[in-house]
Structure 1
Amino acid sequence: MTRVTGRRRFPLSAAAILVVSVAGGWLLSRAGDDPSSNEGVVVLSPGSTSQDPTIGTNALNTGKAFPVVEVESLDGAAITLGEPTGKPFLVNFWYSTCEPCKREMPALVAARDRYDIDIVGVNPRDSAEVARDFADDYGITYSLLRDPNGASLVALGVGTFPMTYLVGGDGTILEQHAGEITAGKLDRMLTAITGSQ
């Protein structure tokens, strides 16, 4: 009678695992060579990325008309956002627990004080009370609106925060900026449209 030991089967199992591991590693290394494999990757800051299939990316809207949407003031009054008035304006999407949103607030406040342009902050997440407290804490001097139904986010395809749009007097989106906006970037954008230095 012949006795089969586990020793002879083990080398075959080890060889199969080795082949599968090498093949899997090769396939993964090749996936990085395909530019389409980077779809859905959002750059948050230089050198860091985050990939979340539930977030997606921001739609590119430069050159398109800013959508006319209904939002509300912090007092609950209905406000129409986006109707062309002949004067340029800046719209910043933010919420209170967004760290990049917090960091960019001083630059937005300074821009409002320096340039002859309306700046509007649109908050789709926080209650009016939280938004008011945030405005007090950060010394916000420009208009804050709420979009509790997310109509503006859907219309613009906003997927990440903060998001800033520079809109011309005719309602055309001249520039959009995803992520934290710096004072230097705001100065370049607003000097070009207002002529102020």
Structure 2
Amino acid sequence: MRLRAFGVGAVAALAALGLFAAFIGFKGPSSGGGTLLLSLSSRSAGRLGDTQVLIHSARGGWSALAHIGNVTVPAAPETYAAAQADVAPGAYDGLRLAGRDLSAPIRVTAGQVEPVLVTVSGGLPQDVFAGNGAYNSGLLGLQGKLKQLPDFSLTDQDGRILDRSSLVGSIVVLAAFHTTCHDTCPLYTSILYQLRQRVPPAVRLLEVSTDPAADSVVALHDYAVLAGTSWPLLTGSADQLAAFWAPFGVRLSGADSHTNFLGVFDGHGLLHHFETGIPDAGSVPGGLSTMLSSEGMRELRSHGDGWDAAAVADQVRAAADLGNPSAGGGGLAPSFRVDALGGGKIGPADFSGTPLVLNFWATSCLPCRIELPLLQRATTERKVRLLLVDERDSASAARTFLNQVEVSSPVASDPDGAVGRLYGVSVLPVTVFIRADGSVEGKYLGQTDAAILGDHLAALTG
């Protein structure tokens, strides 16, 4: 393992060249190993004292990785580039620094660069985000741009206490429900029932009540028996449940008055995707069909808003960085019309009748720095229109970023992530390829390259 600590001059040089973005496909060291780039950031500027950094693997135990001096840690989205180290390819499971052991899956690939973000608060390291998707999520989380599972202590259908600490490191799928609901809630329970067959057991499923008055432990137990569920159904006092649901805009309810919510959270508890409409459940498990009102039966037969357990499973895989990032096409591209970075309004309808590539990006997305110029060149050469969708940035930050990477394609601003949710965007970057007739040819999760773009653009123009 060969260590190269970053000095201020080296950091400035890399920043000027845009190489902080070059984590995917960037040439690694000639030693045959991979390169681990360690960055620090915080919610508000602070410091981290002098510390050794060690990395752990199941096979090799703890190994020295870097030494960090007494440094100032900037507030996100800014980062402090703490060290660059050549690391043997393989799987690692945590870092040790400042007296703390922090668990995180870290995959180092020969000839490539693995970005690792350590968040700092109160002078101590708090969490580790490894890989491009997690790195981006960590920065967005520090900026408050991603909602997060709150601290909680609630009671399940067997009278056991479940709290936030028991979910650390797990992908979580959370749904709102209450036991006296006769329409949408049983459909959400059905989605989780089907999801249990599609995702690994390590993925945690939860339903949390929105009706503390009716949902006693006994009521939850009876509902679990009726539905045949195997996951926790949680309840608590009115204050506990109101505090739990407040970050997600879910109101406490009763009878058939309720707010729908299903969310997929990553291993850090950050919300990556959510749904609030009526699902396409297809069927309901156990005896839940006996609970459905005429409205509930109508919703079941209607196929709802088109999202089903398979779509949620795709989001789980994206949150866990599992599975193939290439997703199939089909259906019409969702329509939107939002503020354009250059003024006025913009949306897919402005490109009607011509092939279009939508690219979702953000200034905190490291691979986007490499991908955006490539996208602009490739679409220009193929005479395909390109619309960039900027996720959750200010207009000034977006303009500065685009000037740095010398990209001038039209930009749609998505400050609250609404357009991203229309397209199921849970990681960045995401590229959607749209045919001239408005149908989706395909979708790619993660950084594209010339070969990937060539295949999709040929399909659009062939």
1:50-89 to 2 correspondence within 5 Å? 51-53=267-269, 54-56=271-273, 57=315, 62-82=329-349, 85-89=352-356
1:92 aligns with 2:309: no
CA distance in 1, matches of 2:399, 2:351: 27
1:165 aligns with 2:432: yes
What's the % identity of the aligned pairs? Answer: 28
CA apart distance, 1:82: 4.8
CA distance in 2, matches of 1:156, 1:39: 23
Return the index of the structure with the highest Cα Rg: 1
Tell me the residue number matched to 1:135: 402
1:106-121 to 2 correspondence within 5 Å? 106-121=373-388
More strand per residue: 2
From the superposition, tell whether residues 120 and 139 of structure 1 become closer, same or farther in structure 2 (CA, over 3 Å): same
CA apart distance, 1:186: 0.5
Q: Is 1:84–1:170's contact at 8 Å kept on the other side of the alignment? A: no
CA apart distance, 1:141: 3.1
Tell me the residue number matched to 2:449: 182
State the SS of the aligned residue for 1:36: coil
From the superposition, tell whether residues 39 and 108 of structure 1 become closer, same or farther in structure 2 (CA, over 3 Å): farther
CA apart distance, 1:73: 0.8
From the superposition, tell whether residues 92 and 121 of structure 1 become closer, same or farther in structure 2 (CA, over 3 Å): same
User: Structure 2 counterpart of 1:132, which letter?
Assistant: R
Match of residue 37, structure 1, among 198, 201, 205: 201
CA distance in 1, matches of 2:396, 2:340: 12
TM-score of the aligned structures, taking structure 1 as reference length = 0.68
From the superposition, tell whether residues 61 and 156 of structure 1 become closer, same or farther in structure 2 (CA, over 3 Å): farther
State the SS of the aligned residue for 2:407: coil
CA apart distance, 1:102: 1.5
Q: Is 1:67–1:156's contact at 8 Å kept on the other side of the alignment? A: yes
Tell me the residue number matched to 2:56: none
**Higher RCO, 1 vs 2 (CA within 8 Å, ≥6 residues apart):** 1
State the SS of the aligned residue for 1:69: coil
State the SS of the aligned residue for 1:55: strand
State the SS of the aligned residue for 1:99: coil
**Which shows bigger deviation, 101-110 or 176-185?**
101-110
TM-score of the aligned structures, taking structure 2 as reference length = 0.31
CA distance in 1, matches of 2:267, 2:344: 37
User: Structure 2 counterpart of 1:172, which letter?
Assistant: S
| Unaligned runs of at least 5 residues, structure 1 | 1-33, 41-49
CA distance in 1, matches of 2:373, 2:442: 20
CA distance in 1, matches of 2:333, 2:441: 10
Q: Is 1:112–1:141's contact at 8 Å kept on the other side of the alignment? A: no
Q: Is 2:433–2:460's contact at 8 Å kept on the other side of the alignment? A: no
CA distance in 1, matches of 2:436, 2:453: 17
User: Structure 2 counterpart of 1:64, which letter?
Assistant: G
From the superposition, tell whether residues 61 and 148 of structure 1 become closer, same or farther in structure 2 (CA, over 3 Å): farther
1:148 aligns with 2:312: no
User: Structure 1 counterpart of 2:415, which letter?
Assistant: P
Q: Is 2:434–2:460's contact at 8 Å kept on the other side of the alignment? A: no
CA apart distance, 1:187: 1.2
Match of residue 125, structure 1, among 392, 403, 412: 392
CA apart distance, 1:127: 1.3
Q: Is 2:388–2:409's contact at 8 Å kept on the other side of the alignment? A: yes
From the superposition, tell whether residues 38 and 180 of structure 1 become closer, same or farther in structure 2 (CA, over 3 Å): farther
CA distance in 2, matches of 1:172, 1:69: 14
User: Structure 1 counterpart of 2:450, which letter?
Assistant: A
From the superposition, tell whether residues 51 and 184 of structure 1 become closer, same or farther in structure 2 (CA, over 3 Å): farther
Q: Is 1:75–1:128's contact at 8 Å kept on the other side of the alignment? A: no
Tell me the residue number matched to 1:103: 370
Root mean square deviation of aligned Cα: 2.6
Q: Is 1:109–1:139's contact at 8 Å kept on the other side of the alignment? A: no
